[in-house]
Amino acid sequence: TKDYELRQYETAKWVSTVVRGETQKEAMRQGFWKLFHYIQGKNEKEMKIDMTVPVTCLIKSGCADFKISFFVPFEHQDSPPQPTDSDVFIEERKASAIFVRSFGGFASPEKYADEAEVLAKILRNRGQTFHEDFFYTAGYDSPFKLFNRHNEVWYFKK
């Protein structure tokens, strides 16, 4: 629809870290750098890995933990190098149907929350069932990109 899309994602591996007790903005900063060091070679194979998009952040209602993740590039999906930082881990996300709402501009935690609420209202009004206790933010652009930015919020279909 013009308000959202329903995508089917296949099972895939992501490299992730959880940041506790910080604001979402600070958690994203800390998490990004931990994951960036992993792709720059802070892994068992000391292998540089291409940066991928999106960078996601799991937001759970009433929880101060934020899970920040990078998608593992296709060529490393079968056997991604293991992280050497104990705070960084490889996770496999199962195939899922995901409701996605896209928006432009520079996304703040408040903007992501507003867009997630808009998406949740639309889905409820259309009788769609989804996991309402969490959502993901997805960012696709470098902080240096000024125009035509692409951001998303994701709710998983039940």
Residue 142 has pLDDT above 90, yes or no: no
CA distance 49 to 30: 19
Residue 144 has pLDDT above 90, yes or no: no
Tokens of 79: 């056997």
The CATH classification of domain 5-156, taken from the options 3.40.50.880, 3.30.2320.80, 3.20.80.10, 1.10.357.10: 3.20.80.10
Residue 147 has pLDDT above 90, yes or no: yes
Contact in structure between 107 and 145 (CB atoms under 8 Å): no
Q: Where are the domains of the chain?
A: 5-156
The amino acid sitting at 64 is A
127: left (phi over 0), alpha (psi -120 to 50) or beta: left
Does this model's pTM top 0.75? My answer is: yes
Residue 45 has pLDDT above 90, yes or no: yes
